[in-house]
Structure 1
Amino acid sequence: MTQVEEVPVQTQKYDSVKADTIEVGNITRSKAEWKQLLSSEEYHILREAGTEPAFRNAYYNNKKEGIYYCGGCSLPLYSSNTKFDSGTGWPSFYAPIDPKLVKRKVDRRYGMERVEVVCAQCGSHLGHIFPYEGVPTEERHCLNSLALDFKQMDI
């Protein structure tokens, strides 16, 4: 059974959704189910916390208006309104649509401590959060394009 929490959306217009809330459920799938739904590259990023190459991914240089959805469950996560060019070669945002749409986890892999960002609904790995001066939140959500689906729209 899915538990649902309503999360306010902070954008004026949002896709075809008329209400000002997004429902966040709890999606649990087996390893086999994820492998059926995702390509091997998507599976590596979303389920094994992989990283795609810098500057060779779909959205790092995307300047179109729209919404970025979780590649694992289609939850709307980030708006182009908070996307910026960090010069790192990955799509960078200074905030999600709402903080409740993503979760932060401590990542101690590779002999360092970082903040991993995952989808609040399906737990898919999206990327990492780093301190970053010059943006309103002073943090950069450094995401993998393969963890996202983009839908162009006026926002």
Structure 2
Amino acid sequence: MKTCYLNLKKSIHRLQLLCLVGCFIIPIGCQSQSSKRPVEKSTAKTDQEWKAQLTPLQYYVLRQKGTEKPGNNPYNKFFKEGTYHCAACDKLLYRSEYKYDSGSGWPAFDRGESQNLAYERDHSLGMERLEVHCKNCGGHLGHVFDDGPRKTTGKRHCVNSAALKFKPKTNG
């Protein structure tokens, strides 16, 4: 009986460790292999130009399809009125009225400005996800999932704060 209990305890510990690795460690450093995205000629820049313009974290997220750590990013629990723009090219991407607290650790929106967003299938991490990026400059924003609020679109745009620039609503 004691051996069964110890084996069960070890199995639970291994499962917890696998969940921790799968949910937190791997996504932080994940990058999709495909980085070719259609961009408008006006925003086509060299890698060196992007590195000079963006912070290291913005470059990692927007240009290398990286992911920032969950829960410790400026727009996760941020709910002021205004608009969210691409941190690389300033294109309008999301509005504050689309934002909600998903509990995921990243900013979540139930929809975006569809004319400024583009999507592609991402097969990294051994699964298929839908990547969302800025249609103007090709910057990686995050992923879209089907577990959003059912009363609206049912979608969750899980977006990296580093990919966004907030502009407060102005009275006028």
Which of residues 88, 92, 95 is equivalent to 1:79?
95
Structure number with higher strand proportion: 1
Matching of residues 1-155 of structure 1 within 5 Å: 26=41, 27-96=43-112, 98-132=113-147, 133-154=149-170
Structure 2: any 5+ residue segments left out of the alignment?
1-38
2:104 counterpart SS class: coil
Secondary structure in 1 matching 2:94: strand
Question: 2 CA distance for matches of 1:134 and 1:152?
Answer: 27
CA RMSD in angstroms comes to 1.6
How far apart, in 2, do the equivalents of 1:32 and 1:70 lie?
19
Question: Across the two proteins, how many residue pairs are aligned to each other?
Answer: 131
Which structure is higher in helix share? 2
Alpha-carbon distance in structure 2 between the residues aligned to 1:135 and 1:91: 19
Q: Distance in 2 between matches of 1:99 and 1:39?
A: 26
Q: CA–CA distance in 1 between the matches of 2:72 and 2:107?
A: 11
SS at match of 1:45: helix
Higher relative contact order (CA 8 A, sep 6+): 1
Identity %: 42
Deviations 1:55-88 (A, max 9, x none): 1000000010010000110001100010001011
2-side partners of 1:53 and 1:84: how far apart?
19
The letter for the 1-side match of 2:48 is A
Whether the aligned pair in 2 keeps the contact of 1:84 and 1:93 (CA below 8 Å) is yes
In 2, are the aligned partners of 1:94 and 1:135 still within 8 Å (CA)? no
Structure 1: 4+ residue segments shifted above 4 A: none
Gap regions ≥5 residues in structure 1: 1-23
